[in-house]
Amino acid sequence: MKERIIILGGGIAGLTAAIALRQLGYEPVVYESARELKGIGAGFGLASNAMKAFELLGLESEVAQLGYPVDSFRICDELGRALIETDPARLQARYQAENYAFHRADLHKLLMAYLPSEALVLSHRAVSFKQDDDGVDLSFANGENLRGDYLLVADGVHSAIRQQLVPSARPRYAGYTCWRAVVDNRLVGVEEGVETWGAKGRFGLTPLIGDRLYWYACVNAPARDAHYAAYRVADLQAHFSHYHEPVVRALSITKDEDLLWNDIMDIRPLRRFAYGRALLLGDAAHATTPNMGQGACQAIEDAAILKSELRKRATFEEAFIAFEGRRLKRTQYIIETSRRAGWLAQLSNPILVSVRNNLFRLLPNSLAASQLKRLYEEDFIEDY
């Protein structure tokens, strides 16, 4: 097909959208600012809804082979006593899709393998964009300019092009900062997903395939705090020294060079994703805090829904508007619910922590799962 489609950003949103468009016969080209694209060295979870979207794109079985099936997930206090136990297996049985944990690099490699080398152009950081009745013009930091017919904006939470389209949509800091790493699980032996909520912060552990273990730690802090920016593994060990095993063990085998650190950001729900010939996707459109593990899941849903709308509509502009109609409410719900969940999980006042923990111990597990239920039950695929 002759439409020249530019995709900005080679993250999960951009790569999955490129695959979806190629399945319709288009030949989109992804422009990515990084010099190399390999997926950062951390893990993440993909819930049933993302696996369903991959299934609609025909990728589910290959993707699933890279994932560690998450059959159970527990939230506990800093002594390791259970507060909530969700039962993904029951939800799986009901909605016929599984939850998995992945190493990001594995998923990136798989998605890139679906694209020909000419579909990915590296070292191109877009700085501005214009559109007229006939097409879009993109300018890059290296001085190059590019003209195309349509633009998919998937350049992440700090999207330069979204900032131009919606200047008020600045990334907002969630109030906590996060370290992540992947270590050798043969030295720790974690078999299920566990997240610990303590007054000094949150610590999560999830096994990955290949005997690897992904951990993350979230601590309340001012934005871009110099004190925490200087944190090394030894500082995290001191910070979490009173947390239950296997937290202490996982930290003890982490190397400084494996630590990833960033402040947690989202964006206030937008009112639009479609701007004529341009469409916002993934974190550029609806970045959310990671508390529901849904950011990448929503990027994958985006690709499946965009494909479905492009198949049904006469023009790209119509498909973009229809996409927006199907995505605004669902992503808004996730951004808002996830932000609230983060507030609860990151409580640091010992009295409030104790009240929260006692309440959670009294809650039936079915209530804890109700949030997930809404996610899975909503028919995001409609008439796919």
Ligand X SMILES: Cc1cc2nc3c(=O)[nH]c(=O)nc-3n(C[C@H](O)[C@H](O)[C@H](O)COP(=O)(O)OP(=O)(O)OC[C@H]3O[C@@H](n4cnc5c(N)ncnc54)[C@H](O)[C@@H]3O)c2cc1C
State the residues that interact with ligand X by CB under 6 A. Answer: 8-14, 31-34, 44-46, 125-126, 154-156, 160, 178, 180, 216, 282-284, 290, 293-297, 299
Residue 83 or 287 with smaller CB distance to ligand X: 287
Min separation Cβ 234 and ligand X, Å: 21
Q: How far is the CB of 361 from ligand X (least distance, A)?
A: 25
- Rounded to 5°, angle at Cα 190 from 185 and 195: 120
Shortest CB 205 distance to ligand X, Å = 13
Least distance in Å: CB of 285 to ligand X?
A: 8
Residue placing its CB nearer to ligand X in the complex, 331 or 357: 331
Closer to ligand X at the Cβ: 139 or 313? 139
For ligand X, the closer of residues 38 and 311 by Cβ is: 38
Q: From the CB of 110, what's the least distance to ligand X, in Å?
A: 15
Cβ proximity of 203 and 79 under 8 Å: no
Catalogue the E-assigned strands of the chain. 5-8, 29-31, 43-46, 68-69, 73-77, 82-86, 100-103, 120-121, 126-131, 136-140, 145-148, 150-153, 172-184, 193-198, 201-208, 212-220, 260-266, 274-275, 278-280
Q: How far apart are CA 351 and CA 303, in angstroms?
A: 44
Rounding to the nearest 10 degrees, give the CA dihedral for residues 238, 243, 244, 245.
-30
β-pairing, 120-121 vs 29-31, is parallel
Structure tokens at 135: 């097409």
**Nearer to ligand X by C-beta: 284 or 369?**
284
At its nearest, how many Å lie between ligand X and the CB of residue 224? Answer: 15
78 vs 228: CA distance, rounded Å: 21
- Give whichever of 160 and 305 is closer to ligand X, judged by the CB atom: 160
